Structures are given as structure tokens and as C-alpha cells.
């Protein structure tokens, strides 16, 4: 099982040192973006809710919906989501499809089919297998959970649009990279692909809002 991130500063120090030596382009980005600040979100249910909210929309829009949802229902908990009406959830900015996803996630957690507090005992692919049984959770959302809730070290969400856009810009590609191109670029980053991916997201932040708090990705 991959080591956990962020519990020890030595993990991050070793990762950044490796990435600087392995990839000249990434070395430049690390200089621009500054220290790695991501913190693991221990609220596993809330993390999955946040990831569902962020599907296929900008980080800024997802954050606005998340804040409105929290204010409307009193927090991102299974009890709060269960008690909220569909009308309340839609009024916070959720699509009908995402309301369905939250309902199914909440049901899986409430009836014990998804034992969130035990997932850290599993390897990455086993965690993904457990999560994608929930409606609306695909590989990307499961990878967000691995990175931001379990703190797994070597996760590379190669089909993430933000990641692909940053790869195109940073490596001077003519178009968004394919899966094969992305994996080839990322191969030298192992076993620290999670930290490299965080820096790729930061490239977009530097253009939009350099002072954005990036410790609370994804939303």
C-alpha cells in the first residue's frame, strides 16, 4: 500500500527534491508556485460530496455551490443531506443529476455498503473499486478521494481537464495530451505523482488568482 502523504514533512521534502531533479519543466513550476500546502481532508464523506460537486465545472463555481449547500443544509453530513429536500439541494446550485449522485452516496454510507472509515486499509485500486459502485462516482472522483482524503502518494488523474490543460501549456503541446502522452510525461514523477499533479493545478491558479488557498483542493 502506498505511504500516506502530508503527515511528515520529510515526505514532501523528498517528493519535491525528486520532482525538481526528474523534470526541468516541473522544476520551473515549483519555483513559480511556491511551497506545497495541500492538507488531507479527514472528512471522508464531505470529501466525496465536494468531489461530486466539482465534476465538470470550474473550481470557482464548485466552491460557490459548496458554500451555499453547506449554509442551506447545515453541513456536509449524511444526516444533513438525507434531511434536505431535492428542492433545497437544487436551490444551492446542484443539477438534478448531482442530486441523484448525492442521494446514492448517502444511501451507500448510511446502510454500510461503503465503509468509509475502513478504506485506508485498502490499496489504491481496491479503494477505487469500492467507490465506483456508487452512482456518479467514476475513476476521477475516486482518485480525488485517494489524493485529498487518504493522502496517497502516487496518484495521477491523467484525464482531468485541468491537468491536461496545464500539461499542454507547460510542455508546449499543440493540443490537449492524450492518455498515452500524459502517462509518458508523468512517468518520471513516480512515486510522487500526487504532488506533481497538485503543482499542475496551481499553474491555472497562478493566472487566475495567485493568492488562492490551494490547501483545500478540490473545492
Domain CATH code at residue 178: 1.10.1670.40
Mean pLDDT of 148-155: 93
Q: pLDDT grade, residue 108 (50/70/90)?
A: very high
Cβ-proximal residues to 160 (8 Å cutoff; 6+ apart), any chain: 140, 197
CA distance 101 to 134: 8
Asked if 48 and 139 sit in the same domain, the reply is: yes
Q: Would you say residue 205 lies in a domain? A: yes
Whether 144 contacts 51, CB under 8 Å: yes
pTM of the model: 0.86
Residue at a domain's end among 148, 163, 185: 148
Nearest to 66 by CA among 98, 105, 106, 104: 98
Tell me if 29 sits within 8 A of 203, measured CB to CB: yes
Are 175 and 135 in the same domain? no
Residue 161 pLDDT greater than 70, yes or no: yes
pLDDT of residue 208: 73
Domain count, the chain: 2
119 and 60 both lie in a single domain: yes
Tell whether 31 and 81 lie within a shared domain.
no
Grid coordinates representing 86? 431535492
CATH code of the domain covering residue 131? 1.10.340.30
121 shares its domain with 92: yes
The sign of the dihedral angle between the CA atoms of 80, 86, 87, 93 is positive
> Domain range holding 159?
9-39+155-216
Does 35 lie in the same domain as 62? no
Is 1 within the bounds of a domain? no
The whole-number pLDDT of residue 214 equals 64
Where is the domain boundary, 122, 148, 174? 148
| 49 and 144 inside one domain | yes
Is 3 a member of any domain?
no
Does the pLDDT value for residue 216 go beyond 70?
Answer: no
Which range has the worst mean pLDDT, 141-145, 163-167, 206-210?
206-210
The catalytic residues are: 160
**How much is the pLDDT for 217?**
63
The residues, ordered by sequence, that sit 6+ positions from 152 with a Cβ below 8 Å of its Cβ are 2, 4, 5, 124, 146, 194
Residue 96 lies in a domain: yes
Average pLDDT of the chain is 90
Q: Is residue 2 assigned to a domain?
A: no
pLDDT tens track for 196-205: 999 999 998 8
Give the pLDDT mean for 106-122.
96
* pLDDT 10s digits, 12-42: 899 999 999 999 999 999 999 999 988 888 8
How buried is 141 (Cβ within 10 angstroms: 0-12 exposed, 13-18 middle, 19+ buried)?
buried
148, 171, 199 — which closes off a domain? 148
Same domain assignment for residues 141 and 76: yes
Q: Which residue has the higher pLDDT, 8 or 168?
A: 168
Q: What share of the chain is helix, strand, coil (3-state, %, to 5)?
A: 65, 0, 35
Per-residue pLDDT at 204 = 83
Q: Where does the pLDDT of residue 163 fall: very low under 50, low under 70, confident under 90, or very high at 90 and above?
A: very high
pLDDT at 2: 47
* pLDDT band for position 45 (cuts 50, 70, 90): very high
Amino acid at each position: 500500500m502506498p505511504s500516506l502523504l502530508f503527515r511528515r514533512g520529510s515526505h514532501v521534502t523528498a517528493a519535491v527534491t525528486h520532482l525538481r531533479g526528474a523534470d526541468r519543466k516541473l522544476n520551473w513550476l515549483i519555483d513559480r508556485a511556491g511551497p506545497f500546502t495541500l492538507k488531507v481532508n479527514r472528512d471522508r464523506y464531505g470529501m466525496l460530496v465536494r468531489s461530486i460537486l466539482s465534476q465538470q465545472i470550474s473550481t470557482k463555481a464548485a466552491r460557490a455551490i459548496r458554500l451555499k449547500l453547506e449554509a442551506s443544509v447545515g453541513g456536509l453530513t449524511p444526516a444533513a443531506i438525507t434531511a434536505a429536500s431535492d428542492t433545497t439541494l437544487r436551490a444551492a446550485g446542484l443539477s438534478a443529476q448531482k442530486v441523484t449522485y448525492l442521494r446514492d452516496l448517502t444511501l451507500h454510507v448510511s446502510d454500510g455498503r461503503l465503509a468509509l472509515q475502513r478504506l485506508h486499509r485498502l490499496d489504491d485500486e481496491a479503494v477505487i473499486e469500492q467507490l465506483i459502485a456508487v452512482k456518479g462516482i467514476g475513476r476521477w472522483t475516486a482518485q480525488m478521494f485517494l489524493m485529498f482524503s487518504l493522502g496517497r502518494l502516487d496518484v495521477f488523474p491523467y484525464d482531468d481537464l485541468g491537468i491536461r490543460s496545464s500539461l499542454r501549456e507547460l510542455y508546449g503541446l499543440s493540443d490537449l495530451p492524450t492518455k498515452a502522452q500524459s502517462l509518458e510525461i508523468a512517468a518520471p514523477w513516480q512515486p510522487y505523482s500526487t504532488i506533481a499533479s497538485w503543482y499542475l493545478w496551481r499553474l491555472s491558479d497562478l493566472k487566475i488568482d495567485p493568492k488562492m488557498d490551494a490547501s483545500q483542493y478540490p473545492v
